[in-house]
Amino acid sequence: MTTTQTAAALVFVVAAFGLMGHLDEQDAKMHQAHYCDMVSAWESDAARGIPAADRAGWPPFDGGCEK
């Protein structure tokens, strides 16, 4: 493998890791938004007096969400 090929491979690997990191960040944001939607549904049902066993959404098992 020549020096040029090695450098090109290294650039490709670094770019691939950068892309994966960006996609991981987007995925984490989507999961957080979904979690917050579910917590909001849970809290909305709680405010209406619906028993915990019958509520939609999730209790805030992973902390609250900023409103």
Token pair, residue 32, equals 């957080």
Q: What is the pTM of this model?
A: 0.67
Give the model confidence (pLDDT) of 8-58 as tens digits: 888 888 887 777 777 788 888 999 999 999 999 999 999 999 999 999 999
**pLDDT at residue 1 is higher than 70:** yes
What is the DSSP track for 2-67? -HHHHHHHHHHHHHHHHHHHHHHHHHHHHHHHHHHHHHHHHHHHHHTT--GGG-SS---BTB----
Q: Where are the domains of the chain?
A: 25-67
